[in-house]
């Protein structure tokens, strides 16, 4: 008998461990799909696991709720916004619990607050500050499948409901997995895993078997939409193994885990990402310290920063932060302009650390296409170029192929 069996003294069913299984909006998109999710949760439980399900809102529920708010008010109160948009996830969880009951299993649905997810008070973009997992553990000890509403928590200061930013159910799932010591966090979604590029843009893009936390952070920060950025930060900081996979098949997806030798040896570049959802600002008449403190205060998520000798400060930020940026810049009395005609293409790979020449090759490929980057920013495992939005797709395609990602050779980490 294994140690685990001894420990929990569970008789005939060997306990494998605790698994957090997160299902995205498409996966719970209608009643039929919700029932399939319930079946999957039950099957995992019957295989001997303690199961926590984290669910997103059904289909486009969150978008619809946001629209509804804007039909009522041009500038909805953030606290009330969170009351409103946190509802979608609760619906999914309550319905899934009902379906699980019908399958003859015990289940309980919990709001973020009931699940002990404590956040700060930044409405619509709250950060998790603590997880008090006792209620979940107690329910698991009673052999219940626990369903936690994703994307939400409760502020310990105001006791108000908060939400974690769009895509925040990923973060709920990973943070919970870390807090309750789950073996893995499975993210079930409508794609097969993490790809070498957006398959809608690059037909030859392929699923990666494994990526390191650092690579996934760079990918999520530069346009890969498969995981919320903050969930990857959590995974890295708490060493949670994340498995991104399709909810419509049993095929394995992409593992996000600690970097290992094999990852480094195989391909130099693991992906080419892109985004067209940024504005680039040019600001004069203030200092970097004043500017970036004010932007931080306004919760603007600044990405690339460029400080020129000529006194101009250039930075990029997501489209969704445009209003906040504008208000901040005006309040500072700065002279500023913004561009919405630029996109960003990023080449990412842990292998880059030990292979010189990636920048040279990137510029060569862009040069052959007649594309001049307007801004270049780098990290040890990333080269990002802001280029004309109209050029983004062909740049991604050319870089993907130039770095050998189109071929079998790059099928990294495949067993």
Q: List residues binding ligand ASP (CB under 6 A).
A: 24-25, 56-57, 62, 88, 150-151, 166-170
Task: Please give the structure tokens belonging to residue 172.
Answer: 């709920």
Q: Between 88 and 413, whose beta carbon lies closer to ligand ASP?
A: 88
Q: Between 233 and 391, whose beta carbon lies closer to ligand ASP?
A: 233
Residue holding tokens 């693991």? Answer: 270
> Taking phi first (over 0 means left), then psi (-120 to 50 degrees means alpha), and beta for anything else, what does residue 160 get?
beta
Query: Interface with Mg ion includes 167 (CB under 5 A)?
Result: yes
Classify each residue of 388-398 as buried b or exposed e, where b means 16 or more C-beta atoms within 10 Å of its C-beta: ebebbbebbbb
From the list Mg ion, ligand ASP, none, pick the one residue 62 interacts with, judged by a Cβ distance below 5 to 8 Å according to partner type.
ligand ASP
Q: Between 112 and 167, whose beta carbon lies closer to Mg ion?
A: 167
Q: Between 124 and 137, whose beta carbon lies closer to ligand ASP?
A: 124
Cβ-contact 180, 377 below 8 angstroms: no
Query: Interface with Mg ion includes 223 (CB under 5 A)?
Result: no
CB of 190 to ligand ASP, least distance (A): 12
Select the span of 30-38, 140-148, 163-171, 232-240 touching Mg ion (CB under 5 A): 163-171
From the list ligand ASP, Mg ion, none, pick the one residue 168 interacts with, judged by a Cβ distance below 5 to 8 Å according to partner type.
ligand ASP
Burial degree of 72 (CB within 10 A; 0-12, 13-18, 19+): exposed
The C-alpha atoms of residue 347 and residue 398 are separated, in whole angstroms, by: 11
CB of 139 to Mg ion, least distance (A): 25
Query: Interface with Mg ion includes 88 (CB under 5 A)?
Result: no
Beta bridge partners of 342: 388
Q: Between 57 and 210, whose beta carbon lies closer to Mg ion?
A: 57
Sheet holding 313-318, edge to edge: 305-307, 313-318, 278-284, 335-339
H or E stretch covering 258: none
CB of 384 to ligand ASP, least distance (A): 25
From the list Mg ion, ligand ASP, none, pick the one residue 178 interacts with, judged by a Cβ distance below 5 to 8 Å according to partner type.
none
């Amino acid at each position: 008998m294994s140690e685990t069996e001894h420990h929990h003294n569970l008789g005939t069913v060997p306990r494998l461990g605790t698994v957090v299984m997160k299902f995205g909006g498409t996966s719970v998109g209608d009643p039929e799909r919700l029932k399939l999710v319930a079946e999957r949760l039950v099957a995992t439980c019957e295989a001997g696991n303690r199961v926590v399900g984290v669910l997103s809102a059904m289909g486009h529920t969150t978008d619809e709720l946001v629209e509804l708010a804007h039909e009522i008010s041009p500038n909805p109160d953030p606290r009330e916004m969170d009351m409103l948009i946190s509802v979608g996830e609760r619906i999914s969880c309550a319905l899934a619990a009902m379906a699980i009951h019908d399958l003859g299993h015990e289940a309980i649905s919990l709001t973020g607050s009931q699940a002990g997810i404590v956040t700060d008070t930044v409405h619509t973009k709250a950060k998790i500050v603590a997880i008090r997992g006792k209620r979940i553990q107690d329910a698991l000890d009673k052999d219940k499948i626990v369903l936690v509403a994703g994307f939400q928590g409760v502020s310990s200061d105001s006791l108000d409901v908060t939400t974690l930013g769009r895509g925040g159910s990923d973060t709920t799932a990973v943070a919970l997995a870390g807090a309750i010591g789950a073996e893995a966090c499975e993210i079930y979604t409508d794609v097969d895993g993490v790809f070498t590029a957006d398959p809608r843009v690059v037909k030859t893009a392929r699923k990666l078997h494994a990526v390191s936390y650092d690579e996934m952070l760079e990918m999520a920060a530069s346009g890969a939409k498969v995981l919320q950025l903050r969930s990857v930060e959590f995974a890295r900081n708490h060493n949670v193994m994340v498995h991104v996979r399709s909810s419509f098949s049993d095929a394995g997806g992409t593992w996000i885990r600690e970097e290992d030798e094999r990852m480094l040896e195989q391909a130099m570049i693991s992906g080419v990402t892109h985004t067209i959802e940024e504005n680039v600002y040019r600001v004069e008449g203030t200092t970097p310290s004043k500017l970036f403190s004010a932007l931080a205060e306004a919760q603007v998520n600044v990405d690339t920063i460029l400080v020129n000798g000529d006194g101009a400060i250039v930075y990029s930020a997501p489209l969704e932060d445009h209003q906040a940026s504008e208000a901040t810049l005006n309040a500072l009395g700065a002279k500023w302009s913004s561009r919405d005609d630029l996109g960003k293409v990023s080449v990412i790979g842990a292998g880059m650390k030990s292979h010189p020449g990636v920048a040279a090759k990137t510029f060569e490929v862009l040069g052959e296409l007649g594309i001049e980057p307007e801004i270049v920013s780098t990290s040890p495992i990333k080269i990002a170029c802001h280029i004309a939005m109209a050029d983004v797709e062909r740049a991604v395609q050319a870089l993907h192929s130039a770095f050998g990602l189109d071929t079998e050779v790059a099928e990294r980490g495949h067993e």
